[in-house]
Amino acid sequence: MRLDPTTAAGSDSPIGAALALAGERDPARDATHPLLDMSQAAPPYPPAPEIVERVVEVARDPAAIGYSPVPGIPALRRAIADELVRDHARAGAVDLTPDDVVVTAGCNQAFAVVADALAGPGDEVISPLPYYFNHDMWLRMRGVTPVYLEPDAGLVPRAADAEALVTPRTRAIVLVTPGNPSGLTVPPEEIVAFAELARRHDLALVVDETYRSFRDDAGAPSHPLFSDPDWRSTVVALHSYSKDLAIPGHRVGSLVAGPELRRQVLKLLDCIAICAPRTGQEGAVAGLTRAGAWRAGRVADIARRRALVGTALDGAPGGFEVVSLGGFFAWVRHPFPERPTLDVVRTLLLDHDVLTIPGTAFLPDDRQMLRMSVGRIDDDGAALLRRRLVAAGAGR
């Protein structure tokens, strides 16, 4: 058979590549050299009891096996809207209702249908570096050209720099905050500047906030955009509950947008999966409405693990230098400019038992970067990480 050349030219999943590489490692090493898996941003803890109990209830209910509404079950859309209104009210009055919310099968699906509703082959989307690899993969496989925005020296993307990248083919600007892979949180005032830029050029501003609960300043609103009564003409907000509620396998995400975009999104969803899995949606309702204390505890737990990784990397052990640390990630520069980063990742795994993702998965070129997920690191793991990086950098 003949394959679509645009899809065939797309890159394979970096996570799949990492798992394949891990399969080359001798499992017998675990007895003396336990693997430090810093590849995927998977929650290191199970979901809240309230979520588990609700999922079990739904699984036992014969009435729950049918299709749910394409936009999502009403209780979840209401819970999502209520949380956004509460969290953003500190930035001003919030104009947002459950009707603005569509539930998706994870945040990747939310991005995919939003991108398809906004752009087609030959169009362009502005994407700050480093980008989230699934965003880049999807755009390219759909024939949309990502136009890369270089951040400033602190990795903050600037709207003033993005202005020069806008062309008649531009359809959207995408921000990921906190960043994946960088962990960097874009300042609220810069998000506002991007929204103003998007409005001036009749573009969409797509803000992916999958890790918003894990910001260092999570007690403050991430931006004031929902206080603008005209936000629906410009802003699209994406979120995932995989990390927030520790339910990645249940596939629950959301998008918040104006009515015209939502209409197009619902057409696409009806052709893809019809609706997000109902058990996950019901579990998410329980998590959002009944597991507040559990969620706060998990945010504190990830912050502690993040601090442990920061301490382990303090002083650039073995020459491995932290460039950014936040959310679920450390963005680290390795000390081997003469070696391809993929080779460095391979050596770290097979010789030093540390699994990371190469920065080339998030960049158009090789800049000596590695993404390390902090979620599975505890006190012992942090100490082990430091020793192994020192060993990896020896003899440079």
Structure tokens at 245: 């509620």
The pLDDT of residue 359 is 97
The pLDDT of residue 318 is 97
Structure tokens at 302: 């990830």
Is 176 within 8 Å of 107 (Cβ atoms)?
A: no
Helices of type H across the chain: 5-8, 14-22, 49-59, 74-88, 107-118, 133-141, 159-162, 188-200, 259-272, 278-290, 292-312, 341-352, 379-393
Integer Cα distance of 300 and 294 in angstroms: 10
Is 369 within 8 Å of 340 (Cβ atoms)?
A: no
**Strand, helix or coil for residue 324:** strand
CATH of domain 49-290: 3.40.640.10
Equal CATH topology for 5-45+294-393 and 49-290: no
Q: Dihedral, CA atoms, 241, 125, 162, 167, nearest 10 degrees?
A: -160
pTM confidence score: 0.95
The pLDDT of residue 358 is 97
**Strand, helix or coil for residue 14:** helix
Which residue stretches of the chain have pLDDT < 50? none
- Contacts within 8 Å (CB) and 24+ apart, 9-14: 9/140, 9/141, 10/137, 10/140, 10/141, 11/133, 11/137, 11/140, 13/133, 13/137, 14/133, 14/357, 14/358, 14/361
Residue whose tokens read 């050029």 = 201
Structure tokens at 388: 């192994």
Is 205 within 8 Å of 195 (Cβ atoms)?
A: yes
Distance of CA 318 to the CA centre of its chain: 29
The pLDDT of residue 159 is 98
Structure tokens at 24: 């080359």
What are the residue ranges spanned by the domains of the chain? 5-45+294-393, 49-290
Helix, strand, coil shares of the chain, percent, nearest 5, are 45, 15, 40
What number of other Cβ atoms are within 10 A of residue 40's Cβ? 16
Residue whose tokens read 């394959």 = 3
Residue 185's closest CA among 331, 334, 13, 367?
Answer: 331
Structure tokens at 349: 């795994």
Q: Dihedral, CA atoms, 208, 212, 217, 218, nearest 10 degrees?
A: 140
The pLDDT of residue 389 is 98
Question: pLDDT (tens digit, 9 = 90+) per residue, 266-296?
Answer: 999 999 999 999 999 999 999 999 999 999 9
With a CB cutoff of 8 Å and minimum separation 6, the contacts of 8 are: none
Amino acid at 132: Y
CATH of domain 5-45+294-393: 3.90.1150.10
Is 204 within 8 Å of 241 (Cβ atoms)?
A: no
The pLDDT of residue 15 is 87
